[in-house]
Structure 1
């Protein structure tokens, strides 16, 4: 019973010493999407700078010697990642033909669907990604 208490106390100290900071933050990315004909000829390229969420941060993790674990170590590894996703429909408004000329009319915009992280947090490393 004393050994179990000792291992828990060590992990509590690791958590207290190293703070986990995992956040959902906005980021700016440049999206480019190409559209091809059935004969695989480039018809148009659309692009846009888009604000989209990302996960960023650090999570407290640790490894301690242990007589109880077969490997000789007790590991507690955590990673900053998405708790879920949400779908967003983005409209790309800068569209060009295969010669680089700006398109207008119905070909001047293109919609794309993206998944972006929602609710980032520390999860055990190697755990399954959310299915949402």
Structure 2
């Protein structure tokens, strides 16, 4: 089986601006309320193309050899998001700035495809 070369084709780590909206339960003035919080953050994403191929094979079932490569992150790093505004019943809740940790892709490259 011929190996797909290690070239990265067009896969790269790019920054993008993302608008996040999250509904969460918070304590505010002695009560638990459900608020809708918003934030605009700049985050990494993986984007691009990678060399893949399918070719006939008498060795591989069902008669095809598949070499699938996908543009994927090398690892994920935690990123703390601080929400800019939160709303309760369509009214701004002043002084409320909850945070949430999410995973940010880093080191994007062409890798064997996985689910």
* RMSD of aligned alpha carbons: 2.6
Equivalents in 1 of 2:80, 2:43: separation in Å?
Answer: 11
Aligned to 2:11: 22
**Which of 100, 113, 116 is 2:104 aligned to?**
116
Equivalents in 2 of 1:49, 1:71: separation in Å?
Answer: 48
The structure that is strand-richer by fraction is 2
- The structure showing larger relative contact order (alpha-carbon pairs under 8 Å, at least 6 residues apart) is 2
Aligned to 1:3: none
- Structure 2 residue runs of 5 or longer lacking an equivalent are none
Aligned to 1:94: 85
Aligned to 1:54: 45
2:69 is the counterpart of 1:78: yes
Q: How many residues align?
A: 110
Q: 1:37 offset after TM fit, Å?
A: 6.3
Q: Which ranges of 4 or more aligned residues in structure 1 deviate by more than 3 Å?
A: none
Larger radius of gyration: 1
Equivalents in 2 of 1:27, 1:43: separation in Å?
Answer: 29
Q: 1:70 offset after TM fit, Å?
A: 3.5
TM score, norm. by length of structure 2: 0.80
- Structure 1 residue runs of 5 or longer lacking an equivalent are 1-6, 128-132
TM score, norm. by length of structure 1: 0.71
Equivalents in 2 of 1:104, 1:75: separation in Å?
Answer: 56
